[in-house]
Amino acid sequence: MCVMKKESPQWLDNQLYPFEQCYTALSAGNMHFIDEGSGDVILFVHGTPTWSFLYRDFIKEFSKSYRCIAIDHLGFGLSEKPKTLAGRPEDHAQNLSEFIQKLDLKNITLVVHDFGGPIGLGAALDQPERIRQVVMFNTWLWGTASNPAVKKIDKIARSWLGKFLYLNLNFSPKFLLKKGFADKSRLPREIHQQYIRPFPTKNSRQSLLQLAKSLYGSSVWYQEQWKKLDFLTEKPWLILWGTKDEFIIPDYLERWTERLPNAEVHTYDCGHFVQEEKTEEAMSAIKYFLNQCFKKPKIKL
């Protein structure tokens, strides 16, 4: 259901991202999303500083057999960037929950990554009956307040320097994104620009700074979701993990596998953005997983 449709911005590469632009009005603002294909729903949820562009190749391929929906959180990508946006993960989770209800999505394969993990799983825990299975890339869902690295990041994010870097220099997509790649050749300039261009002004970058502050600031909320995760643990899980991630380290994967002993796990020799560095491998793993879950004929790459 598209409440609105708009023309693509001039900077958007329509060959890389050849999808119809859909928008729907949520309580907090207008959310952009992609809705391609038909059949069982795959819902893609991004983190920071990315947007639905991260899943472009997955949408192109999986929309041949499924209904692929990929959102842009408010303040990200092509979604509205309200000046008064709260922008904490719990706020984004509430927005996503409203979006799922508004489109009345059911039998969902939920795909999450980075901050999209707590956001997507937080929304799923609000309505677990709508979730069929979960595909998870590098992420977390537990309290972060005792983590020394997180405390250090929080101190920087809340300082004048952090504010200057995020708002004036567009630090997150320009520099941190690149640091997330083990193989920098997988982030050529034309791709990198598609991650930088959604944030042209200081005001448009507020959402990036808010999530940086929330890595520590939303610790209590993360832990609350972690405690409730049993509502989802019996569903099928697929974990796709980049082992050279400098942000979300392999220790996090150990914690996930302890909590989800029946999850199917694939590890890759790459950084934080498995979707970009190991695209074909990740799609193959997801296809096998979905074929097993849905018992559909296998589709070729």
Query: pTM value?
Result: 0.95
The one-letter amino acid at 203: N
pLDDT grade for 4, boundaries at 50, 70 and 90: low
pLDDT at 120: 98
Rounded CA gap, 207 and 71, in Å? 15
pLDDT at 294: 77
Percentages (nearest 5) of helix, strand, coil residues in the chain: 45, 15, 40
Angle 116-126/219-228 helices, nearest 10 degrees?
A: 50
pLDDT at 83: 87
pLDDT at 296: 52
Report yes or no: 25 and 15 within 8 Å, Cβ to Cβ: no
Whether the predicted pLDDT of 52 surpasses 50:
yes
Whether the predicted pLDDT of 117 surpasses 80:
yes
Over residues 42-59, the mean pLDDT reads 98
At 181-202, the pLDDT tens digits run: 999 999 999 999 999 999 999 9
Pick the CATH number of 20-144+221-294 from 3.20.20.370, 3.30.420.10, 3.40.50.1820, 3.40.50.720: 3.40.50.1820
Rounded CA gap, 165 and 69, in Å? 32
pLDDT at 3: 56
Distances (CA, A) of 8 to 19, 23, 101: 9, 12, 26
At 218-268, the pLDDT tens digits run: 999 999 999 999 999 999 999 999 999 999 999 999 999 999 999 999 999
pLDDT at 9: 92
- Tokens 């999450």, residue located: 112
Over residues 6-23, the mean pLDDT reads 92
- Tokens 């004048």, residue located: 160
Tokens of 143: 């309290």
Query: Could you tell me which residue, 1 or 216, shows the higher pLDDT?
Result: 216
Sequence-distant (6+) residues with CB within 8 A of 189 are none
Whether the predicted pLDDT of 297 surpasses 70:
no
pLDDT at 8: 82
* β-pairing verdict for 41-45 and 131-136: unpaired
Q: Where is 301: in which H helix or E strand? A: none
DSSP class of residue 299 equals -
Report yes or no: 301 and 76 within 8 Å, Cβ to Cβ: no
The one-letter amino acid at 52: S
Q: Which residues are paired to 131 by β-bridges?
A: 108
| % of the chain surpassing 70 pLDDT | 96
Can you tell me whether residue 117 is helix, strand or coil?
A: helix
On the CB side of 138, CA atoms within 13 Å amount to 25
Residue boundaries of the structural domains of the chain: 20-144+221-294
pLDDT at 205: 97
Whether the predicted pLDDT of 298 surpasses 50:
no
pLDDT at 299: 46
How are strands ordered across the β-sheet holding 131-136?
Answer: 4-5, 22-26, 29-36, 67-71, 41-45, 108-112, 131-136, 237-242, 264-268
Whether the predicted pLDDT of 284 surpasses 50:
yes
CA 114 to chain centroid, in Å, comes to: 6
